[in-house]
Chains A and B, each alone.
Chain A
Amino acid sequence: MTAGRFGDFGGRYVPEALIPALDELDEARRSAMADPTFLDELDRLHRTYTGRPSIITEVPRFAEHAGGARIILKREDLNHTGSHKINNVLAQALLTKRMGKTRVIAETGAGQHGVATATAAALMGLDCTVYMGKVDTERQALNVARMRMLGAEVVPVDHGSATLKDAINEALRDWVAAVDTTHYLIGTVTGPHPFPEMVRDFHRIIGVEAREQVLEHTGRLPDVVVACVGGGSNAMGIFHRFIEDEGVRLVGVEAGGEGLEGRHAARFASATPGVLHGAMSYLMQDEDGQTVESHSVSAGLDYPSVGPEHSYLRDTGRAEYVYATDDEAMEAFALLCRTEGIIPALESAHGLAGALHLGRELGPDAIILVNLSGRGDKDMHTAAEWFGLVDDVVEDDEIVPPGESDDPGATGDGRTQL
């Protein structure tokens, strides 16, 4: 058993060429986390750039649909760049400078991590290349423009399935060739050690703040903490501070896509352990061990594996994992918009769908803390098509609503509303 294991999960399944860089990173992050100068700088950025601490918001009108349980949202959507991703990105960008490297690379699916990375690179004067599946660059054209506006190079990846997993493959290839000057700024709690542990630690602030805030607001700990799980960073971030609080249930919500009979990304409901992108974890794979493509309405949850620490929390029973289908997530998405005036990210809407179920199960005395990991502006295009918000959305779902809709509720191409 090597370092960086969570039970049987995790490890370092990467080319030997990368091992020295991973050792260097491990060393750098350990010394940084014990260095007051680094921690002060990170704290200053959290306060003066990201806008931390993020607030909590109780949502009683939404909670009426959840058996009357009290539902409290941790508002990571209010962070600069619109999601929790910035917590990890700023910290890794600082580490990049600490290691004397001048360039960062990143993978991105929906574009949120890419935008956050491009932002941090602009802030800190680093070169930045973002790999993005070609399919995703087309689906998320405006995020591509945002990254380019921020000075990043965006490279569409058109082999394999041309989605997130292939973007990660390409980023790994770049990293091997450029590791002297380049840090691979991984966007979630996956990848070879030390990434899962390090990225978790950089997001841990979510749970640290939320625990205090809920105690202050309600006088007690929540009964359940709920978060959506793609790679698993926002979930690890909010779960971690609660792990020793044995009475607090931790529930991760995966993307159920079309349901288990169709295409989905419910790894824990269907998958077996395997290795992808450097880590042993639950993995959607066929009989031969080839990766099976995942699917979700939400690009940020559309990944065939999951952070190794989640696999450990699941197998040890400390956390539970459920899934919400595309339909359930879209319903929760609409409900939060209409009842509370908050447009959540589609990823976060999966967490909300989970909370609706849990509330009905637990009843009015329960307190449920949900990580609202991001805001939904980026998802307006998908939502407009899903709910038929734009009059001239034609049957053919290839067609993007043009700019001249008369519907006052939707000016133009949903994507331009970002």
Chain B
Amino acid sequence: MSTEVTASAEPGTGDTDRGVASVIERCRAEGRAALVGYLPVGFPDVETSIRAMVAMVESGVDIVEIGLPYSDPVIDGPVIQRATEAALRAGTHVVDGFRAARAVRDAGAPPLVMSYWNLILRRGVDRYAAELAAAGGAGLITPDLIPDEAADWIAASDREGLDRVFLVAPSSTPERLSRVTAASRGFVYAASTMGVTGERASVGPAARDLVERTRALTELPVCVGLGVSNGDQAAELAEYADGVIVGTAFVRALTGDGQDGDVEARLEAVRELARDLARGVRERRQS
């Protein structure tokens, strides 16, 4: 699998290790799942969001998912909606994602940008891909882009050696799973439940079934997201998934309790959560 990734990265970019494959490989070698942490850039402001992403990396997050705030976030639940609305009100722009990508890369982790498709389309798919690669980005997670509509992005990501992470869901039929896995690179994102982002008391049995059905069709790693909020849940998922993706819980930690509150305390809450999750992905636990 890693050879496939390396092979399709353009020779001569001088950066064949741009994607996340080698990191997930290393985690596998360590006998654990990878920890993927999401935060939207610009919340509560660009500077703090980047500090928080770096803090995640320093505290055990292996791959950072940088969310671009969007006016119409249809797969996000209330916590992320509120954060991204605040980020937009604070004047966050698409280009701020590049700064975040550079900072995360410099901190030692591959940054994947998570974006609704219109933001990429508006900037121009080729242009965005080139800029993301130049900023040290690893690729894109595209929650509202299916491979069937992605010809331009598939070509651009091939050219730039970027990962393209498409999603599968419990509703995905075998035909859809084949189509999505064939188009993906880096890993396949398995949405644990039918629903939006947000913490859930438990991640249901649908996730395991989906991971197994996906694995049957691809060599690619399969990471599970939606609903994970603590180290114990991460340990359960690490039992069968190659990676555990956590978003809402990080956003909640960075939100703090009240409106103002101490930024340092909130960054510490982010670190604490990352450490707990990092313990979880190393534990692996029978659910």
Nearest-neighbour CB distance to chain B for A9, whole angstroms, equals 12
Q: Known: A20-B172, A288-B94, A289-B119. Contact between A177 and B194, CB under 8 A?
A: yes
Q: Convert B217-254 into 0s and 1s, putting 1 for each residue whose CB lies closer than 8 angstroms to a CB of A.
A: 00000000000000000000000000000000000000
Do A17 and B74 touch across chains, with their CB atoms under 8 A apart?
Answer: no
Stretch at the interface among A113-121, A148-156, A273-281: A273-281
* Complex contacts, B11 vs chain A, CB 8 Å: none
A375 on the B face (CB < 8 A):
no
Q: Convert A10-38 into 0s and 1s, putting 1 for each residue whose CB lies closer than 8 angstroms to a CB of B.
A: 01111111111100000000000000000
Cross-interface CB contact of B171 among A21, A275, A287, A289, cutoff 8 Å: A21
B28 on the A face (CB < 8 A):
no
Chain B residue nearest in CB terms to A170: B74
Bound complex: CA of A15 vs CA of B94, how far in Å? Answer: 21
Do A274 and B118 touch across chains, with their CB atoms under 8 A apart?
Answer: yes
Do B93 and A160 touch across chains, with their CB atoms under 8 A apart?
Answer: no
Bound complex: CA of A178 vs CA of B194, how far in Å? Answer: 8
B78 on the A face (CB < 8 A):
yes
List residues 104-128 of chain B with CB under 8 A from any CB of chain A: 117-123
Do B118 and A289 touch across chains, with their CB atoms under 8 A apart?
Answer: yes
Q: Convert A280-320 into 0s and 1s, putting 1 for each residue whose CB lies closer than 8 angstroms to a CB of B.
A: 00010101111100000000000000000000000000000
* Complex contacts, B94 vs chain A, CB 8 Å: 288-289
A172 on the B face (CB < 8 A):
yes
* Complex contacts, B194 vs chain A, CB 8 Å: 17, 176-180
B149 on the A face (CB < 8 A):
yes
A159 on the B face (CB < 8 A):
yes
Chain B residue nearest in CB terms to A290: B71
B180 on the A face (CB < 8 A):
yes
A52 on the B face (CB < 8 A):
no
Bound complex: CA of A24 vs CA of B172, how far in Å? Answer: 12
Nearest-neighbour CB distance to chain A for B96, whole angstroms, equals 10
* Complex contacts, A18 vs chain B, CB 8 Å: 171
Do B75 and A12 touch across chains, with their CB atoms under 8 A apart?
Answer: no
Q: Convert B157-179 into 0s and 1s, putting 1 for each residue whose CB lies closer than 8 angstroms to a CB of A.
A: 00000000011111111001000
Do A288 and B145 touch across chains, with their CB atoms under 8 A apart?
Answer: no
Cross-interface CB contact of A274 among B73, B78, B85, B122, cutoff 8 Å: B122
A2 on the B face (CB < 8 A):
yes
Q: Convert B84-99 into 0s and 1s, putting 1 for each residue whose CB lies closer than 8 angstroms to a CB of A.
A: 0100100001100000
Do B146 and A12 touch across chains, with their CB atoms under 8 A apart?
Answer: yes
Q: Convert B49-79 into 0s and 1s, putting 1 for each residue whose CB lies closer than 8 angstroms to a CB of A.
A: 0000000000000000000001111110110
* Complex contacts, B169 vs chain A, CB 8 Å: 15-17
* Complex contacts, B78 vs chain A, CB 8 Å: 159
Do A17 and B191 touch across chains, with their CB atoms under 8 A apart?
Answer: yes
Do A289 and B82 touch across chains, with their CB atoms under 8 A apart?
Answer: no
A405 on the B face (CB < 8 A):
no
* Complex contacts, A288 vs chain B, CB 8 Å: 93-94, 119, 122-123
Do B74 and A289 touch across chains, with their CB atoms under 8 A apart?
Answer: no
Do B148 and A290 touch across chains, with their CB atoms under 8 A apart?
Answer: no
Nearest-neighbour CB distance to chain A for B191, whole angstroms, equals 6
Do A2 and B148 touch across chains, with their CB atoms under 8 A apart?
Answer: yes
* Complex contacts, B119 vs chain A, CB 8 Å: 288-290
* Complex contacts, A159 vs chain B, CB 8 Å: 78, 81-82, 85
B144 on the A face (CB < 8 A):
yes
Do B173 and A20 touch across chains, with their CB atoms under 8 A apart?
Answer: yes
Chain A residue nearest in CB terms to B169: A17
* Complex contacts, A289 vs chain B, CB 8 Å: 70, 94, 118-123
Do B74 and A274 touch across chains, with their CB atoms under 8 A apart?
Answer: no
* Complex contacts, B269 vs chain A, CB 8 Å: none
Bound complex: CA of A11 vs CA of B72, how far in Å? Answer: 18
Q: Known: A17-B171, A160-B71, A165-B72. Contact between A12 and B148, CB under 8 A?
A: yes
Bound complex: CA of A414 vs CA of B81, how far in Å? Answer: 36
Bound complex: CA of A270 vs CA of B74, how far in Å? Answer: 25
B143 on the A face (CB < 8 A):
yes
Nearest-neighbour CB distance to chain B for A169, whole angstroms, equals 5
Do A16 and B180 touch across chains, with their CB atoms under 8 A apart?
Answer: yes
Bound complex: CA of A179 vs CA of B194, how far in Å? Answer: 8
A220 on the B face (CB < 8 A):
no
Bound complex: CA of A179 vs CA of B171, how far in Å? Answer: 9
Bound complex: CA of A160 vs CA of B117, how far in Å? Answer: 18
B195 on the A face (CB < 8 A):
yes
* Complex contacts, A338 vs chain B, CB 8 Å: none
Chain B residue nearest in CB terms to A273: B121
Bound complex: CA of A255 vs CA of B218, how far in Å? Answer: 50
Cross-interface CB contact of A177 among B73, B85, B196, cutoff 8 Å: B196
Nearest-neighbour CB distance to chain B for A181, whole angstroms, equals 11
Nearest-neighbour CB distance to chain B for A277, whole angstroms, equals 7
Bound complex: CA of A169 vs CA of B77, how far in Å? Answer: 11
Q: Known: A176-B195, A277-B72, A291-B72. Contact between A20 and B122, CB under 8 A?
A: no
A44 on the B face (CB < 8 A):
no
A173 on the B face (CB < 8 A):
yes
Bound complex: CA of A289 vs CA of B120, how far in Å? Answer: 8
Apart from A13-B146, A176-B75, A176-B194, 18 more pairs, CB < 8 Å: A12-B148, A15-B143, A15-B169, A16-B146, A16-B180, A17-B171, A20-B172, A169-B72, A173-B75, A275-B118, A275-B121, A285-B118, A288-B94, A288-B119, A288-B122, A290-B70, A290-B119, A291-B118
10 A-B residue pairings within 8 Å (CB atoms): A21-B171, A160-B71, A176-B196, A288-B119, A288-B123, A289-B70, A290-B71, A290-B88, A291-B71, A291-B72
Which B residues have a C-beta under 8 Å from some C-beta of A?
A: 70-75, 77-78, 81-82, 85, 88, 93-94, 117-123, 143-146, 148-149, 166-173, 176, 180, 191, 193-196
Top 7 nearest A-B pairs (CB, nearest first) are A289-B122, A17-B169, A177-B195, A290-B71, A289-B119, A291-B71, A275-B118
